[in-house]
């Protein structure tokens, strides 16, 4: 069994090297599916909501994977691939002041309007109530992940690492964004 896993990982790494965007898109979609299944079960749903699951896979594949791919390339170009402490700190601050607030807000809007099909006025109200705590929590959690990612992880793996850690974050967001009535 170990050789099957090893072979699968080797094939994945080859795909990541040869087709980075496509591989990250597929990875984000698969991880979004796993995350949503876990979130649905944790929230007490007895039957899997397939529409919700597919919409979450769409979000991961069409938005999260490509956004992360291009954002990390942009950061590396802006800072010329440097990994000294001062540069990593700048990358983390920039990430936390730009993509973090945007991604959390965009997810909450997408979840409310598209996944739940709620009227904009209700989504707005939910965001006013929950966004500050979501973003505050993000700022206590993601800077550490960002630091490790920018300091130690090669560029081609940063989105994958962020996506894996993001599974846990997405479960939190799913449970937070879910309407309670």
pLDDT in tens, 121-139: 999 999 999 999 999 999 9
Task: Answer yes or no: is pLDDT of 75 > 90.
Answer: yes
Taking 70 as the threshold, does the pLDDT of residue 179 lie above it?
A: no
Would the pTM of this model clear 0.95, i.e. be above it? no
pLDDT at 169: 84
Tell me what the mean pLDDT of segment 95-107 comes to.
Answer: 96
Evaluate the CA torsion angle 7, 10, 12, 15 in order and state its sign.
Answer: negative
Specify whether the CB–CB gap between 67 and 103 falls below 8 A: yes
pLDDT tens per residue, range 158-177: 999 998 998 888 787 767 66
Looking at residue 172, its pLDDT comes to 77
Please enumerate in sequence order all residues whose Cβ is within 8 A of that of 27, keeping only pairs 6 or more positions apart, or say none.
Answer: 65, 159, 160, 163
Answer yes or no: are the C-beta atoms of 154 and 18 closer than 8 Å: no
pLDDT grade for 180, boundaries at 50, 70 and 90: low
Report in angstroms the alpha-carbon separations of 139 from 74, 79, 97, 164.
Answer: 21, 22, 9, 18
Q: What pLDDT is recorded for position 181?
A: 43
Percentage, residues of the chain above pLDDT 90? 77
pLDDT in the model for residue 115 = 94
Model confidence at 5, pLDDT cuts 50, 70, 90, reads confident
Helix (H, G, I), strand (E, B) or coil at 19: coil
For residues 59-87, give the mean pLDDT: 94
């Amino acid at each position: 069994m170990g050789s099957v896993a090893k072979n699968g990982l080797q094939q994945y790494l080859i795909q990541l090297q040869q087709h980075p965007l496509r591989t990250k898109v597929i990875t984000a979609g698969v991880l979004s599916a796993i995350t949503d299944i876990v979130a649905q079960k944790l929230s007490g749903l007895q039957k899997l909501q397939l529409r919700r699951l597919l919409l979450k896979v769409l979000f991961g594949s069409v938005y999260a994977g490509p956004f992360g791919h291009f954002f990390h390339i942009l950061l590396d170009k802006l800072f010329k691939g440097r990994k000294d402490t001062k540069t990593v700190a700048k990358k983390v601050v920039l990430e936390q002041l730009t993509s973090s607030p945007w991604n959390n807000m965009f997810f909450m809007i997408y979840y409310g309007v598209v996944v739940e099909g709620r009227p904009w006025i209700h989504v707005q109200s939910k965001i006013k109530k929950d966004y500050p705590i979501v973003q505050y929590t993000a700022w206590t959690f993601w800077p550490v992940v960002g630091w490790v990612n920018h300091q130690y992880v090669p560029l081609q793996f940063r989105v994958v690492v962020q996506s894996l850690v993001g599974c846990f974050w997405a479960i939190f967001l799913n449970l937070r964004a879910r309407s309670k009535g």
